[in-house]
Chain A
């Protein structure tokens, strides 16, 4: 079974530039998550999708971050414009279902390491 795929693996940009990250979850997984992991901290949930609907985006800085999951499969996370404090690893995860306790084990991708100069 293929795991969660993410690209790119690394990205270096200057502040005020734009960047986009892509995630392909495990086939059949209804729930997709984007996390931000700043060095020395645990992953922080940015947005959670159930199929192509948003379940939780309370911690997504909506003035600069956006995410979509068209057709309920792949997802894209965008930052526009980037700030220095956005430097982090962006993790994508998926689970069979996010709304039933026994099914919300999350499978993580390798992450995208973003450096904003």
Chain B
């Protein structure tokens, strides 16, 4: 069965630290990849997405993610986090059947 794994359920960082959140999926076909973010008290919203082309994609607020097809991974990165990045982050994969599967999420807490 198709699945999405996020390696860390909780991450605590100090401001200015670098961030990398892992995401792996199990599906052998063509995929569309997403990272969504949910800030406290707000809706889920799109952070960035990959459909084709350059495997390094840039999103909002300085986030980026790299699609490594051979590793079935789509890790999220930010070189320097801010307190306002405190949120829950979800990796999602849309497969050939157009079903979107979400990972369990990673809660990030950034200490000011």
Residues of A at the B interface (CB closer than 8 Å) are: 3-4, 33, 35, 40-45, 48, 55-56, 58, 91, 93, 98-99, 101-102, 104-111
Contact = CB atoms under 8 A, between A and B. Distances in A.
Contact of A45 (B4, B36, B99, B105): B99
Interface of B: 4, 6, 30, 32, 34, 36, 43-46, 49, 51-52, 90, 92, 94, 97-105
A48 B43 contact: no
Nearest to B41: A110
A40 B97 contact: no
In terms of DSSP, what is the predominant structure of the interface of chain B?
A: strand
B51 A41 contact: no
B105 A42 contact: yes
Nearest to B4: A42
26 contacts: A33-B100, A35-B102, A40-B104, A41-B104, A42-B6, A42-B92, A42-B105, A43-B90, A43-B102, A45-B99, A45-B101, A55-B98, A56-B97, A58-B99, A98-B98, A99-B98, A101-B51, A104-B100, A105-B49, A106-B100, A107-B45, A107-B46, A108-B36, A108-B45, A109-B43, A111-B43
